[in-house]
Structure 1
Amino acid sequence: MPSMMYFFLSVAALIGGYMVYSRVVERMFGVDNCKATPACTMADGVDYVKLPPSKIFLIQLLNIAGLGPVFGPILGALYGPWALVWIVLGSIFAGGVHDYFSGMLSVRYEGKSVPDIVGYNLGNGFKQFMRFFSVVLLLLVGVVFVTGPAKLLANLTDMTLMTWVIIIFAYYFLATVLPIDQIIGRIYPLFAVILVIMAVGLTGAMIVKGYEFYPSAHFVNQHPTGLPLWPLMFITIACGAISGFHATQSPMMARCVPDENCGRPIFYGSMIAEGVIALIWATLGMSFYPTPEALNAAIAAGGPGKVVNDVSMTLMGPVGGILAILGVVVLPVTSGDTAFRSARLTIADVLNFSQKGNGARLMIALPLFVIGAVLSQVNFDIIWRYFGWANQTLATIVLWASAAYLVRRGMLHWIASVPATFMTCVCVTYICYAKIGLNIPLDISTWIGIAAAVGSLGLFLVKRPAFAANPVA
C-alpha cells in the first residue's frame, strides 16, 4: 500500500468516527428539541445571541484550534507514526466525547461555564477548584496565543515582536468586551477560508511536488533525543486529540445554539475537524523532513514556528506560503481572543455579575489583561509546558463529570469513564515524571499513574449509586 494512503485512511477513520460514534454519544446524552436553548430564553444581545449553526461551527472550530493542532503535532511527529494513531483514536473516543458533553451540558445549564458544569455533576468541591483552575488555564492560553502568532508575524514583516504583541493584545481586548456578533461573528468565516487554504493547500502541494509520505516512519519511539513516548506524546499532542481548553470555549457557543440537534456537528464535529488539521501537520513533520533527526534539527533551530515557515514557503511559494502561515496565525489568534472572553464570562458566573453593560464587562476585562501582559514576559517554553499538563488535567475532570451525568441519566457511562480513566493515568504519570513536576523515575511514575487511574475509577463506581439517586431533571 502506498504510504500516502495511510494519511487518507486516517482522515477517513476520523470522518467515519464522526458519522457513527458521534451518534452514539448524542443518543447517550439525550437530545430534546422541546427544551428551549439559552440563546432563546436568555437573549441579551451580548453573549446570549442566537446564530446560524454553520456560523457557530466555524466559530467553535477556530475557538478551539489554537497552536495546539499545529505546534503539538509537529513536536509529536518526532515520536513517529504513533502520533497519527493517537490523533485518530483520541479525537473519536476522547476529544469528541469531551467536546460534545462540555458544549451540550452548558446548553442544558443555561450556558454556564465549565466550573458550574463540573460542580453540578461532581459536587461543590470540584466546582470551587475548577473556578480557580479554569481561569488560570484561560490566562495561560491567552498569553501563549499572543507570543506564538506574534513571532510568526514578526518573521513575515519588518515590525518588531513587541509591536505585534501590542497589536494582538489590543484586538483581544476588543473581542473580549464587544458583543459576540460584532467582531467574532463577522470575521471568523473569513478566517475559516484562510484556514482551509492552509490545510488543503499544503497537503495538495506535498502530493503535487512528489514528496514521499512518512519516509522514515516505523512503529517504534523515534524521538531523536530519546524522550519517552509514554506519557509525553499524550501531553504534547493535546488539542489535536483531546484538550480541556475546548471545555472553556464550548459554553461560549452554547449560548448561541438555536436548538439541541445542532450540538453534534458543532461540538463533536469541530473536534474531528481539528483532528484533521493535526493529522496534516503531523504528516508534514514526518514527510517534509526525511528523518526525525532532520525535523528535530529544524525545531532546535527555531522551534515549531520555523517548521511552519519552512514547510509553507517551500511547498506553496512566497504568496501561497504567506497565506499558509497566515492560516497558522489565525488559529492561535482566534483562540486567544476567546480565551480572554471565556475568562471574563467564567469570572462573571462566579460573581453572578451581569455582563450586559459595557462598564460591567470592563471591570472584569481590564484586570485580566493587566495580568496577561505581565505573564507575556515569562519564557514561552515554561508557560507551554505547564499549559500542556493543566490542559489535559482539565479535560480529565470534564470527562469524569460527563460520566457522572450519564449515570444520572441511567445511560452507559463507559463512553466517558474509560477515556477519563486513561487520561487520569496520563496526567498523573506526567506530573510525577516531568522536571516541572516531581521528577520521579518513569517506571515509578507510571505505576503511580496506574494506581491513580484505577483508584479514580473505583471511587467513581462506588459513588455511582449516589449519582444515580440524583437523576437529571
Structure 2
Amino acid sequence: MIWFLTCVAALIGGYFLYGAFIEKVFGVNEHRKTPAHTKTDGVDYVPMSTPKVYLVQLLNIAGVGPIFGPIMGALYGPAAMLWIVVGCIFAGAVHDYFSGMLSVRNGGASVPTITGRYLGNGAKHFMNIFAIILLLLVGVVFVSAPAGMITNLINEQTSLTVTMTSMVVIIFAYYIIATIVPVDKIIGRFYPFFGALLIFMSVGLMTAIGFSDEHTVMGGFEVSDMFSNLNPNDMPLWPALFITIACGAISGFHATQSPLMARCMENEKNGRFVFYGAMIGEGIIALIWCAIALSFFGTLEGLNEAVANGGPGNVVYSASFGLLGVFGGIIAFLGVVILPITSGDTAFRSSRLILAEYFNMEQKTLRNRLMMAVPLFVIGGILTQVDFGIIWRYFGFANQATAVMMLWTASAYLLRHNKLHWITTIPAMFMTSVCVTFILNNSSLGFGLPMNISTGAGVLFALTAAGYVIKTSKGKGETDLADEEQPKVETKTA
C-alpha cells in the first residue's frame, strides 16, 4: 500500500512541480483570446467552463486504455507502476499539454495540421493518413470492448440474453448521433457527470481493496520487484511494457482528442489543469487498476489465468463484483464501460474534423458533417468483424507512433521559438527507440529481428530523428497562428 500511495503522491507532485515548469517554458498568455472565442460556431467551437472542459478531456482520453493497458502491464510486476509514474510526468502529460496548447495556438487545428506546420507537408500527409487509421482502430476497439462487457454483464446478472452484434449496433447508433451534434449538446452536457462517476468508481474500488481482509494491496511484492520483470509468460519488458500500458503513461490517441477541448477552453492559463492535469488524473486511474490487478488475484499466475480466461475485461468484471458485491459491482463495471463509449464517439468526431480540415469543408451545416462521418462509420462497421486481439495489437503500436510524431512536433515548435526543447526531445527520442525496436523485433506485427539488432536500430533512428529536427527547426523563429486571429485594436493618432 505504501508503494501505491507513494506513486500517487509522485504524480500529484509532478503536476504542481514539473507541470508548472512545462507551462513556464511554453509561456501562456492569459490575455490572448482562444479559438473558443475567435472562431465560435455553436458546433465544435463552443466556450465551456474549466471544470467541464477538464472532465470532458479526462473522459475523451481515458477509454479502456488506462484500465486494460495497466492490467496487461501488471503481468510484468510492480515495474509497471514505476513506468506509469515516470511516463505520465515526463512524457504523457507533456505530450498532452503540447498537443492541446499547440492546437490553441493554431486556431483549434487537428494534429495533422499542427504536425505539418512545424515538421513540413510530408509529415502532415503522413499524419493525416496515420491519424485516421489510429482513430478508426480506436473507434472499433471502443465499440467491441464495451459491447462485449455489456453483453457479459447482462447475460451473467439477468435472465435476459443479448448478442454481441446487437450491442455493437446500439453503440454505433449512439456514436453517429454524438459525432454530428454540437459538442455542448451531449458531450458537454453529460460527460462531466460521467467523469465524476469515473473518479468515484476508481476511488471506491481502491478503498474497498485497501480495507479488504482478503486482499492486501501489493503485499506479496518486495521493493526489489519494482525494478524486475516478473512476467509469468517470460515476455520481455523492453520494449513491450511501454507499448502495452499505452494510455496509462503516454498515448498518441490523446493528441487527436486534445484539439476537441482546445476549441472549447476559455483561457490559455487553464491549459495546465485541462491537458497536463487530465493526463495525471488518468495516470492515477491507471495506478489504481494496476494495483488491483496485482492484488486481487494474489499472484501474477492468478492474474495471468484471469486474463487468459477472458482478457482484461474478465479482470474488471471479477474485481468489481468481488470487491463491491452485486450492486456496487454493477455501478463500478458500468463506470468502466462508460470509458470506451465516451472515447469512441470522440474518436469518430476527431476523424470527422481531421477530414474536414483536409478537404477544407466547413462543419457548421449538418449535411457536411454527415458527408464526413458516414464513410467513417461504414469502414468502422466492417473492421468490427476483425478479431479484437489483432485490432488491439495494431492499435497499441499505432498509438505510440502517433505520440512520437506529436512529441517531435512539440520539439520543432520549441526550437523555432528558441525555447528549451529537451523537455519534449528526450521523451521523443525514448519513445522513438521504443516504437522502432518493437516493430523490428515483434514477429507477429513486425520483422522478427533479434533484440540486440532491433534495439541498436531503434537508438540509431532516435538519434537521427533528433539531429534532423534540431537542424531543420532551430532558430527559425515565427509567430503563432493565434496572433493573426486576435481582434485588431485600432490606435488613434493625435
TM-score relative to the length of structure 1: 0.98
Per-residue displacement from partner, 1:11-65 (whole Å, max 9, x unpaired)? 0000000001111111111111221111101110000000001100000000000
Q: Which residue of 2 aligns with 1:470?
A: 477
CA positional deviation for 1:352: 0.7
SS of residue matched to 2:309: helix
Corresponding residue to 1:456 among 422, 441, 465: 465
Q: Which residue of 2 aligns with 1:439?
A: 448
Letter in 2 for 1:166: V
- Identity among equivalent positions (%) equals 55
| Inter-partner Cα distance in structure 2 for 1:319 and 1:445 | 49
Q: Is the 8 A contact 1:102 1:247 kept in 2?
A: yes
Q: Which residue of 2 aligns with 1:275?
A: 283
Matches within 5 A, 1:35-434: 35-157=32-154, 158-210=161-213, 211-217=215-221, 218=225, 219-434=227-442
| Inter-partner Cα distance in structure 1 for 2:458 and 2:171 | 39
Aligned CA distance change for structure 1 residues 163 and 203 (closer, same or farther; 3 Å): same
Letter in 2 for 1:143: V
Per-residue displacement from partner, 1:320-374 (whole Å, max 9, x unpaired)? 0011111110111110010000000000011110000011101111111000000
Letter in 1 for 2:191: Y
| Inter-partner Cα distance in structure 2 for 1:20 and 1:430 | 32
| Inter-partner Cα distance in structure 2 for 1:220 and 1:118 | 37
Per-residue displacement from partner, 1:203-233 (whole Å, max 9, x unpaired)? 0100111321223332321111101000000
Per-residue displacement from partner, 1:164-189 (whole Å, max 9, x unpaired)? 11111011010000000111111112
Letter in 2 for 1:176: T
Letter in 2 for 1:334: T
| Inter-partner Cα distance in structure 1 for 2:359 and 2:24 | 34
Letter in 1 for 2:317: N
Q: Is the 8 A contact 2:417 2:477 kept in 1?
A: no
Q: Is the 8 A contact 2:257 2:347 kept in 1?
A: yes
| Inter-partner Cα distance in structure 2 for 1:464 and 1:334 | 37
Letter in 1 for 2:334: L
Letter in 2 for 1:121: Y
| Inter-partner Cα distance in structure 2 for 1:352 and 1:234 | 36
SS of residue matched to 2:46: coil
CA positional deviation for 1:462: 2.5
CA positional deviation for 1:75: 0.3
Q: Is the 8 A contact 1:115 1:134 kept in 2?
A: yes
More off after superposition, 219-228 vs 414-423:
219-228
RMSD across aligned C-alpha pairs, in angstroms? 1.0
SS of residue matched to 1:343: helix
Aligned positions, number: 468
Letter in 1 for 2:451: L
Q: Is the 8 A contact 1:215 1:291 kept in 2?
A: no
Letter in 2 for 1:162: T
CA positional deviation for 1:386: 0.5
TM-score relative to the length of structure 2: 0.93
CA positional deviation for 1:383: 0.6
CA positional deviation for 1:292: 0.9
More off after superposition, 357-366 vs 433-442:
433-442
| Inter-partner Cα distance in structure 2 for 1:393 and 1:75 | 19
| Inter-partner Cα distance in structure 1 for 2:48 and 2:30 | 17
Corresponding residue to 1:34 among 24, 28, 31: 31
SS of residue matched to 2:265: coil
Structure 1 portions without partners, runs of 5+: none
Letter in 1 for 2:183: I
| Inter-partner Cα distance in structure 1 for 2:199 and 2:407 | 30
SS of residue matched to 2:251: coil
Q: Is the 8 A contact 1:408 1:472 kept in 2?
A: no
Corresponding residue to 1:21 among 18, 21, 44: 18
Letter in 1 for 2:374: L
Letter in 1 for 2:172: F
Letter in 2 for 1:441: P
